[in-house]
Structure 1
Amino acid sequence: MESIRSMKDGASYTLLKDTENEQANQLVQSYYKKPKEVLVLVDSRDYEQIERFTDYSFSKNEEKILLESEDLPIYRRSKIADYWVFDRLTKKLQRVSEQKIQEPLLSPDGKKVAYVFQRNIYIKDLINERTRQLTFDGNYETLNGITDWVYEEEFGFVRAFDWSLDSKQLVYMRFDESKVPIFSMDIYGSDLYQFPYMFRYPKAGEENSTVELFVVNLDTNQKSKVLFGDEKPVYIPRIKFGGGQNSLIIQTINRHQNHLKLWRWDTQKKSLKLVLEEKDDAYVSIHDNLKFLEDNSFLWTSERNGFNHIYHYEQNGKLIRRLTKGPWEVTSLYLINPKLKELYYQSVEDGSTERRVYAVKLNGKGKRLIQGSKGTNGASFSADGSYYIHSFSDEQTPPRFSLYQTKNNRLLNLILDNKGLKDKIDEFGFSDREFSTVTINGEQLNTWMIKPVDFDPSKEYPLLLFQYSGPGSQQVANRWGDQRLLWHKMLANQGYIVACVDGRGTGFKGAAFKKVTYLNLVKYESLDQIAAAQYFGNLSFVDKDRIGIWGWSFGGHMAAHCLLTGNDVFSMAIAVAPVTNWRFYDTIYTERFMRTPQENPQGYDLNSPLNYVDQLQGKFLIIHGSADDNVHVQNTMRMVEALIQEDKQFEWMIYPDKNHGIFGGYTRKHLYTKMTNFIYNNL
């Protein structure tokens, strides 16, 4: 269902559909009113050079389809792949480039496609099939049109260029990485010698890339630089054409990430206008909730009043009105229905562990509940808002997709209910999670608990705490679980109680709750997990001498820190791919919450498990992938060395050439077997 795209007619949608043997697939079109009637737009079996499509997109006029195949990942979001353009009128398929390329984007008029190859931007004319190179300085220090590692990871995007609405201009970002330090990690592979994989990675307090913005007139080839005057923006986390003729919208933010500015650059007059500002004592979060209306006014979300809500602004940045308010957060901004003048959004108004879908008029009135069943409700609307596909899941219900007509909120069709998955899971006889809240350190914290299916309240059970705990994150939510949750339920049926607590710093309970951890990452989070473990340990059915904790990434940092600083509470911990000192992590993420090590040395060092290894008393397993480009294995190596020099015994596992996800082949099975056996033997 992730491949669904609504067509601009508002009456139909497209999606990728597997063929019978699941080797090939088709891009098909269906109508909301008649979803069983399927029109095949493109079939990968018709082309020898394409086994299956991995992604697709349309030109704005929907005459061309950009098709992706044979993609190869680079980092978390970036990839190279083969790309093809299918002409819906002529049925002709042409390859964009003979090489694997990055981030192709069709022009709005469907006549060209821009892409990146080896850090330079190219434009292919789809009519005469000629390709021209737009930039020439891309190399190991310079990127054009794609982001560097830290932007990709922390600002969440790779494509760093955009077409103007009339297809006559292209804006792109140029990254100069020359002053960014190089990180190297060995790739062991299968050859006689390993080789060093090197890439530029700015650790906290170090130099970032210098970023510039250029606009190219494609008729004249004239290139102009976007000038910020006396402004010297450190980061440019978003760019897009929109909001009027010759209007380029740019977001900039300072290095502390507590002062965001929204600009409009007039590409014809070459003038800059400040539209909106966001300031915060801690930090301002980057989002994708900027949406323009037909009159070029726009919607925006902000936490400025303590909770994330929707605001409507005029084109010049003057506030028209606030559309939502209350002690709850808007979690998704979907779409504006121009006929009904309604805005559709998702929020946690019914509780931070739940998700509901609402509508509100642009005049701020007429709010109505669209989907409000207990659990996690979501929606994918047609282009004009006339229809939507409702997604729903909860603890007992796997993802279910249903088609609705929006105006009367009328159910038209059940698309997918995953009943077979539900029946299969039920065969294992797992217990459900029990959701509740606990009062810890003066706060009401969300929690879930899984008990053995044959739970006996007169017995004492060992307890395993799972958590992630990162800023704005959430693990306690009423939704269908993943494979990790099934593992937790398996452990419960082996005689363990498994619990999870979202402590201070996690999301969807307001800015104050989330930002209390500012400058001291893992301090308050650890205090909450330790106190939660003490609370659970006082329950009659929990063995307080057998309490463990585990987590991955930020959660791995937390597991290690809690085991050491809460050594009278926790008897065991597993840390997977942990940060062990924030000095080792990247600039954008770390400094957002901690500022730089030069400004806040105590915040970095007092919250590093490296400095508490002498306090290890319990059993400790640390796991890492040797090719983790995100949280470098350096973190684990430094931890291991510190433990050795304190003469502390522990267990560890390194997965060769595996990244932060630690997967591939039997790797993930091996990892969970390793953790399972460690728990059986030590908890």
Structure 2
Amino acid sequence: MNFRLLGLAVLLTTASPALVPALAPAAVAQQKQTITLEDIWQKGTFAAKSVPGFNWMRDGRYYSSLSQGNLVQNDVTTGQPVQTLVAAQDLKLPGQSQPLPVDGYSFNADEQKILFSTDTEPIYRRSSQSYFFVYDRATKKLTPLSQAPGKQLYATFSPDGKRVAFVRANNLFVTDLATMQETAVTTDGVENRILNGGADWVYEEEFDMSQAFSWSPDSRQLAYLRFDESQVPEYNMQKWGPLYPADYRYKYPKAGEKNSVVTAAVYDVAAARTTKLDVGTETDQYLPRVSWTQTPNLLSIRRLNRLQNKLEILHADAATGKARVVLTDTDKAYVELTDDLRYLAGGKQFLFTSEKDGYRHLYLYDMNGKLVRQLTKGGWEITSIEGVDEKQGFVYYTSTENALLLHGTYSDVHMGLVQNRPLERHLYRINLKGKEKTRLSDATRGTDVVNMSPDCRYYLNYHSEAGDPQVVSLRNGQDGKLVKVLEDNAKLRQKLSEYTLSKLEFMKIGLNGAVGGDQLLVASILKPANFDPSKKYPVLMYVYGGPGSQTVKDDAGGGIAFTNYLWHQLLAQQGYIIVSVDNRGTGARGAAFKKSTYANLGKLETEDQAAAARFLGQFPFVDKSRIGIWGWSFGGYMTALALTKNADVFKMGISVAPVTNWRYYDTVYTERFLKTPQENPQGYDDNSPVQHADKLRGKLLLVHGTGDDNVHFQNSTAFVDALVKANKDFQTLYYPNRNHGIGGGNTRLHLYRQMTNFVLQNL
């Protein structure tokens, strides 16, 4: 694999469309402050503001929010409160002098009843449990959802507002709000064995699914999933603190092991009758989505095979349970699950996105799965459907189809990406005939994140650019025109202007012989503000590199968290150049680029990172003997692998919460990209850092939380064991009871202080 040196085209973080040479010295600011770790992790000096507690109300003209314990209705066109829907003083329980300390809420369909939650505690990444209370706006009565002991999960109004369904202790319940009578839909729920209406750990983590039930549009039926995880092996974590540490056991299916057996059913509320849905005879499969269509009594079920290279859409009759496959999407590698399936009113058509032409695009089908038409096409990706305006016949979506070319600010030739423009996200709309495509985003660059009103009349737009905090604005859904800026973060911009900050620039790196011919990797580079091209600088590379990911984006953090961006600025102040490269396997550049790493995770990705490091080492201002690398999670894996398989390139590395052997990670994620270990043992072992521990030469800091329920501490202990056996020196840092995010209290401040010191001492 040969890299060739190419000219670099750089897009600066200013709004100016002008292109400048990539390596021109940045202007040195005078009398500026320097960023400290306390600024980032303790003082909140650079905390960006948003529009807190924003929830669209049903007519699209108002939104609600919590303000000092009050639930307030706000006018979207002004951002100003127009009335108090529920005063804090009305949220007092009998005999209590203080209002209920609510931390969340949801309305029923006519917005006359409200579910308030309190004392919410997280469980895993997306799940939490709370005490829920029902508030009636007409009577101002506040009532506990349940009198039974224990917190509730996923409390949800029926569409008619007469009932609430929820999960408690792994069983599904329905409460009739007229009588407050509670009915158990299921009774067989048992911890670490049977779950009803709530997803197991791996579905929650990898399919973004925690609530596993939904009401029918007519409120008469409740569809739900049942997880039998009795055959799934348990993982045990110790909770440190007491004299004898406590065990925490939960079901975690590692690659190649047994998954939960998942079934689907429908409960008829009036008849108190449960009907099982026909999801096939195969039990070793996934049912990651069950939802109601716009057709009465018709359910939509998505079914994935174990290897996730075949996705089927089933339509099931709720009365009989009979189901049929209406659409099948297959791929030689894998098919990714999205939330882009939308059923249209009238019960005749549905929208779906697929990568079947090489890029994720939008398709319209009839209810029998017959293609009506492909609505979008081209060498770019749809990232999500934001809304459907059926009255006007338009679909709203965000995509990587960068319309800067239309504004003449830079072209494919400049960026060298040839129909692959992955740095930005903008909002478009197109009609259901595939015509009248319009770009609604009016920014000349950057990234737009959209929150559209239910009727598509308005949308909130969260716009940011590299190193530039977000601007939150209300916009018209018809033409994207600005209605009002709700938050411009002007104070933060002023604060940032008082500090010595460097411009984040983007560049291209030429790669020969890649999938599909010559490929160009995109990268970002952050140089010291007083950069002098006649001097030599050390380089620290930041990597994630996992399938479909991006660290190189034109947004507030440059594709990474703003806090990491600020830490990189702190290191730039210390004389380091920070570079991030999106290797093969990363996202937004089409299926071939993303899936080129299939069945062999780590190989091409680390080759690309090493080749990029060698590429950087050719520049006269880079000290090629002082190139380091760091990353978290998949990036921690990449760092460990880079330091071993490419020990001649990297002087040091920081590997945080890494997978070190894919045999230790979960079924859904790992098998999607590697098949099972039984089918593909070499794909698991050839690029495990554990297998290459004897090659380590540079300085390594290995960091992990002992309470990591996602990437188990076991990964780091296995790597440490291999390094000790190979008689290699390294440093470790572990955080008791911290999860994958390694946070809480002073934890992040402490962690980044250790990481900073390690960089300063070893690079």
TM-score, normalization by structure 1 = 0.97
The aligned amino acid for 2:73 is Q
The aligned amino acid for 2:665 is Y
**Equivalent residue number for residue 70 of structure 1:** 119
Question: Residues 233 and 609 (structure 1 numbering): CA distance in 2 closer, same or farther, change over 3 Å?
Answer: closer
Question: Residues 51 and 93 (structure 1 numbering): CA distance in 2 closer, same or farther, change over 3 Å?
Answer: closer
The reply on whether 1:27 has 2:71 as its aligned counterpart is yes
Preserved CA contact (<8 Å) 1:389 1:402: yes
**Equivalent residue number for residue 525 of structure 1:** 605
**Equivalent residue number for residue 416 of structure 1:** 487
- Between the aligned partners of 2:331 and 2:163, the Cα distance in structure 1 is 42
Which string of whole-angstrom CA distances, capped at 9 and with x for unpartnered residues, describes residues 54-104 of structure 1? 322222333322222221111111111121222233222222135321111
- Between the aligned partners of 2:511 and 2:113, the Cα distance in structure 1 is 56
**Equivalent residue number for residue 425 of structure 2:** 355
Q: CA deviation at 1:45?
A: 5.1
Secondary structure of 1:388 counterpart? strand
Moved more, 585-594 or 48-57: 48-57
TM-score, normalization by structure 2 = 0.87
- Between the aligned partners of 1:7 and 1:452, the Cα distance in structure 2 is 47
Secondary structure of 2:222 counterpart? strand
Question: Residues 159 and 39 (structure 1 numbering): CA distance in 2 closer, same or farther, change over 3 Å?
Answer: same
- Between the aligned partners of 2:384 and 2:571, the Cα distance in structure 1 is 34
Q: CA deviation at 1:46?
A: 4.1
Question: Residues 621 and 464 (structure 1 numbering): CA distance in 2 closer, same or farther, change over 3 Å?
Answer: same
- Between the aligned partners of 1:372 and 1:603, the Cα distance in structure 2 is 45
The reply on whether 1:470 has 2:519 as its aligned counterpart is no
The aligned amino acid for 1:524 is L
The aligned amino acid for 1:221 is A
The aligned amino acid for 2:566 is L
- Between the aligned partners of 2:456 and 2:472, the Cα distance in structure 1 is 17
Q: CA deviation at 1:50?
A: 5.2
**Equivalent residue number for residue 278 of structure 2:** 227
- Between the aligned partners of 1:192 and 1:201, the Cα distance in structure 2 is 27
The counterpart of 1:149, out of the listed 201, 212, 218, is 201
Which string of whole-angstrom CA distances, capped at 9 and with x for unpartnered residues, describes residues 445-488 of structure 1? 11101111111110000000001111001111101121111001
Q: CA deviation at 1:435?
A: 1.1
Gaps of 5+ in 1: 20-24
**Equivalent residue number for residue 447 of structure 1:** 523
The reply on whether 1:603 has 2:683 as its aligned counterpart is yes
The counterpart of 1:484, out of the listed 551, 564, 576, is 564
Which string of whole-angstrom CA distances, capped at 9 and with x for unpartnered residues, describes residues 579-626 of structure 1? 000000000100000011111000100010001111111000000000
Preserved CA contact (<8 Å) 2:440 2:479: no
- Between the aligned partners of 1:514 and 1:602, the Cα distance in structure 2 is 20
The aligned amino acid for 1:42 is V
Q: CA deviation at 1:340?
A: 2.3
**Equivalent residue number for residue 54 of structure 2:** 4
- Between the aligned partners of 2:251 and 2:480, the Cα distance in structure 1 is 51
Question: Residues 507 and 458 (structure 1 numbering): CA distance in 2 closer, same or farther, change over 3 Å?
Answer: same
- Between the aligned partners of 1:407 and 1:116, the Cα distance in structure 2 is 40
The aligned amino acid for 2:462 is S
- Between the aligned partners of 1:524 and 1:11, the Cα distance in structure 2 is 50
**Equivalent residue number for residue 16 of structure 1:** 66
Secondary structure of 2:690 counterpart? helix
Which string of whole-angstrom CA distances, capped at 9 and with x for unpartnered residues, describes residues 157-211 of structure 1? 111111111111111111111111111111112x211111111111000011111
Q: CA deviation at 1:39?
A: 1.9
Moved more, 98-107 or 575-584: 98-107
Secondary structure of 1:335 counterpart? strand
Question: Residues 507 and 372 (structure 1 numbering): CA distance in 2 closer, same or farther, change over 3 Å?
Answer: farther
The counterpart of 1:570, out of the listed 631, 638, 650, is 650
- Between the aligned partners of 1:674 and 1:545, the Cα distance in structure 2 is 23
**Equivalent residue number for residue 183 of structure 1:** 235
Secondary structure of 1:228 counterpart? coil
**Equivalent residue number for residue 325 of structure 1:** 377
Preserved CA contact (<8 Å) 1:300 1:310: yes
- Between the aligned partners of 1:55 and 1:232, the Cα distance in structure 2 is 37
The aligned amino acid for 1:468 is Y
Indicate the RMSD between aligned Cα atoms, in angstroms: 1.5
The aligned amino acid for 2:314 is W
- Between the aligned partners of 1:128 and 1:112, the Cα distance in structure 2 is 10
The aligned amino acid for 2:70 is Q
Q: CA deviation at 1:380?
A: 2.1
- Between the aligned partners of 1:262 and 1:196, the Cα distance in structure 2 is 41
Q: CA deviation at 1:295?
A: 2.0
- Between the aligned partners of 2:475 and 2:201, the Cα distance in structure 1 is 41
Question: Residues 580 and 233 (structure 1 numbering): CA distance in 2 closer, same or farther, change over 3 Å?
Answer: closer
The aligned amino acid for 1:401 is V
**Equivalent residue number for residue 407 of structure 2:** none
Q: CA deviation at 1:232?
A: 4.7
Q: How does 1:136-535 map to 2 (within 5 A)?
A: 136-140=187-191, 141-189=193-241, 191-230=242-281, 232=283, 234-296=285-347, 297-350=349-402, 351-373=421-443, 374-441=445-512, 442-481=518-557, 482-535=562-615
Which string of whole-angstrom CA distances, capped at 9 and with x for unpartnered residues, describes residues 346-386 of structure 1? 11011210111111111111111100420002322222112
Secondary structure of 2:597 counterpart? coil
**Equivalent residue number for residue 719 of structure 2:** 639
Preserved CA contact (<8 Å) 1:44 1:53: no
Gaps of 5+ in 2: 1-50, 93-97, 403-420, 513-517
Secondary structure of 2:482 counterpart? strand
**Equivalent residue number for residue 22 of structure 1:** none
Question: Residues 183 and 233 (structure 1 numbering): CA distance in 2 closer, same or farther, change over 3 Å?
Answer: closer
**Equivalent residue number for residue 110 of structure 2:** 61
Q: CA deviation at 1:397?
A: 2.7
The count of corresponding residues between Structure 1 and Structure 2 is 676
- Between the aligned partners of 1:536 and 1:152, the Cα distance in structure 2 is 40
Question: Residues 91 and 45 (structure 1 numbering): CA distance in 2 closer, same or farther, change over 3 Å?
Answer: closer
Q: How does 1:110-129 map to 2 (within 5 A)?
A: 110-129=161-180
- Between the aligned partners of 2:756 and 2:623, the Cα distance in structure 1 is 19
- Between the aligned partners of 1:407 and 1:657, the Cα distance in structure 2 is 50
Q: CA deviation at 1:212?
A: 1.1
Which string of whole-angstrom CA distances, capped at 9 and with x for unpartnered residues, describes residues 217-259 of structure 1? 1111111111234555610000111230001110000000000
Preserved CA contact (<8 Å) 1:355 1:378: yes
- Between the aligned partners of 2:257 and 2:533, the Cα distance in structure 1 is 54
- Between the aligned partners of 2:442 and 2:698, the Cα distance in structure 1 is 45
Give the % identical residues: 46
